[in-house]
Structure 1
Amino acid sequence: MAPIDDASRPRVAGSVDLSPRQRAAGDHLRAIHDHFREQLAALTRAVEGFRDGSGGLDVVRAGVHGLAPSLSVQQIAGICGQVCRFLTMHHTIEDQTMFPAVATLDAYAPVAARLAEEHLVIHAHLERVDDLALAVTTDPARIDDLVAAVGVLRRDLESHFTYEETEMTEPLGLLGLGV
């Protein structure tokens, strides 16, 4: 799957000045994304630690579950599934609520459409990660594939989050939409 192409994205940000109150929805969106960034970092540490046998899983377990034992393959699969479900739910809410509202502003309609298209790319990444997490439970030799898939997911998701945070702050503020 080709990575998300930043150069072809429509850009509108910087066209209006927002008050601090109007910027609040964009700040909230960034905070939500930061939570996902933390989850993905923990997932990355878990799969890399499992692959490397470095004992890094104890740290991940403490951070993810507040417990000390190392993660099993099944627990890593569970974390993958949880991250995938929450990201899918987040994107579904954006697709059904936020993007249609933003598309009512003509200048921002191409941005909303592009972000919705990127959700399909991210969803394909999530399905791959989930499939590989399940595969690792029966074939631990597939761990390198899972590590690579998580890396690709993080790269494209970070690009998507940054674009969305930049381009959605203004329309969310102009429309008075909460996130």
Structure 2
Amino acid sequence: MPPIDDSTRPRVAGSVELTPRQRQAGDHLRMVHDHFRAQLRQLTGAVEELRDGAGDVGVVRDSLHRLAPALTAQQVSGLCQQVCRFLTMHHTIEDQSMFPAVATMAAYAPVATRLAEEHLDIHAHLERVDDLALAVRTDPSRVAELVTAVADLREDLESHFTYEETEMTEPLGLLGLGI
């Protein structure tokens, strides 16, 4: 699956000046995405450490927010499923509520359409990660494929989040939409 092409994305951000109150929805969107970014970092570390066979017993967590490096294949699979579920829920809410509202504004409609299309690409990544996470439970030799799939997901998702945060702040603020 080729990475999302940033050069083909419609751009409209910067066309209006928002008040601090109008910027709140965009700031909230960024905070939600930051939560997903943290989960992706955690997932990336977990699959890489599983691949590397790092410390399989007696390893403790560095902090409350960091997974122990010695996760089993079953635990990594569960983490993959959790990330996939929550991200799918987040994108479904955007597709059903936020993007249709933004699409009512002619200038921002191409952005809303593009973001909804990118959700399909992200979903394909999620399915690949989920399939491989399940496969690794019974065939640990496939962990390198899982590491690659997570890296591909993370690259496209980071790009998608940044684009969405940049381009959706204005229409969310102008429409007075919360997220």
TM-score normalised according to structure 2 size: 0.94
- Map Cα deviations across residues 11-62 of structure 1 (whole Å, 9 max, x no partner): 0000000000000000000000000000000000000001112239854895
In structure 2, C-alpha distance between the alignment counterparts of 1:61 and 1:75, rounded to whole Å: 18
Partner of 2:65: 63
Aligned length: 177
CA contact 1:55–1:70 (8 Å) conserved in 2? yes
CA-to-aligned-CA distance 1:132-176 (integer Å, 9 cap, x gap): 000000000000000000000000000000000000000000000
> What does residue range 118-129 of structure 1 map to in structure 2 within 5 Å?
118-129=118-129
User: Aligned partners of 1:161, 1:28: CA distance in 2, in Å?
Assistant: 13
Partner in structure 1 of residue 140 of structure 2: 140
In 2, distance between residues paired with 1:61 and 1:47? 18
Return the offset for 1:120: 0.0
Question: Residues of 2 paired with 1:79 and 1:168: CA distance?
Answer: 29
Distance 1:166 1:45, change over 3 A: same
Aligned pair in 2 of structure 1 residues 20, 51: CA closer, same or farther (>3 Å)?
A: same
Residues 109-146 of structure 1, C-alpha deviation per residue, up to 9 Å, x if partnerless? 00000000000000000000000000000000000000
Which ranges in structure 1 are unaligned for 5 or more consecutive residues? none
Q: More helix by proportion, 1 or 2?
A: 1
TM-score by length of 1: 0.94
Indicate whether 1:76 and 2:76 are aligned. Answer: yes
Say whether the 8 Å CA contact 1:61–1:71 is kept in structure 2. no
Contact 1:136 1:142 in 2 (8 A): yes
Change beyond 3 A, Cα 1:161–1:82: same
CA distance in 1, matches of 2:98, 2:164: 11
Q: Which amino acid aligns with 1:63?
A: H
Identity of aligned residues (%): 73
Q: Is 1:171 aligned with 2:171?
A: yes
SS at match of 2:108: helix
Structure 1: how far apart are the matches of 2:139 and 2:63?
22
Deviation at 1:72, TM superposition (A): 1.3
Does the CA-based 8 Å contact 1:46-1:60 persist in structure 2?
no
- Show the 5 A alignment for 1:29-178: 29-55=29-55, 58-59=60-61, 63=65, 70-178=70-178
1:97-118: per-residue Cα shift (whole Å, max 9, x none)? 0000000000000000000000
- Runs of 5+ unmatched residues, structure 2: none
8 Å contact kept, 2:84–2:130: yes
Q: Is the 8 A contact 1:132 1:146 kept in 2?
A: yes
